[in-house]
Chains A and B, each alone.
Chain A
Amino acid sequence: GIQVEQSPPDLILQEGANSTLRCNFSDSVNNLQWFHQNPWGQLINLFYIPSGTKQNGRLSATTVATERYSLLYISSSQTTDSGVYFCAVNNRLAFGKGNQVVVIP
């Protein structure tokens, strides 16, 4: 099946810093989503982005489907951004192992 790799696996940020999370996938995709899993375990939809660029407040995402990667940008990070960020692809949602992000005040 399709392989999904996320980097970096762990990231510690000072509050206010910017960061970029990367998702590489091994084959063409028809669906790509980014999720945030908060410290309580809840999965929150961030972006549905099989291609192109989207922005939502301090977060934005870009998927370059032809080059098989997607990027999630976090700007002016806040402590509430802490958690695990997952990239998942295709209709049966193959997940990466996530990016563990800790934002310290």
Chain B
Amino acid sequence: NAGVTQTPKFQVLKTGQSMTLQCAQDMNHEYMSWYRQDPGMGLRLIHYSVGAGITDQGEVPNGYNVSRSTTEDFPLRLLSAAPSQTSVYFCASSYSGLAGSYNEQFFGPGTRLTVL
């Protein structure tokens, strides 16, 4: 198993550009999520999905879109990049997002994004 994979590893954008961060998992996990990590801070939840066709907002969703057309993939879209979106982005997955279920989450290696 490759686990959770993310592409690209690094990206530099200019303000106003759009791009998609890719995330894929091969563990047949229902639950997937995106986080951002800023210097000196823990991770903050952007969006999550409890299964194909279902997405919802996390703590910091503004400026980001997601969709989940398959169990394996959960791309994150930046529609019009801003310098405030400079961060490291992590994707994660687990078997279930349901309370009371076994929900150990596994993280991808991250994408380091700089917006100029």
Chain A interfacial positions (CB closer than 8 Å to B):
1, 4, 30-31, 33, 35, 41-43, 45, 48, 86, 88, 91-98
Residues from chain A with a CB closer than 8 A to the CB of B97 are 91-92
A91 touches B98 (CB 8 A): yes
> Contact: B45 with A97, CB < 8 Å?
no
Stretch with Cβ within 8 A of A (4 or more), from B12-20, B21-29, B70-78, B100-108: B100-108
Question: B residues within 8 Å of A by Cβ?
Answer: 31, 33, 35, 40-45, 48, 58-59, 88, 90, 92, 97-100, 102-107, 109-110, 112
B114 → chain A, closest Cβ, in Å? 14
> Once bound together, how far apart are the Cα atoms of A98 and B102, in whole Å?
23
- Closest-CB distance, B105 to chain A (whole angstroms): 6
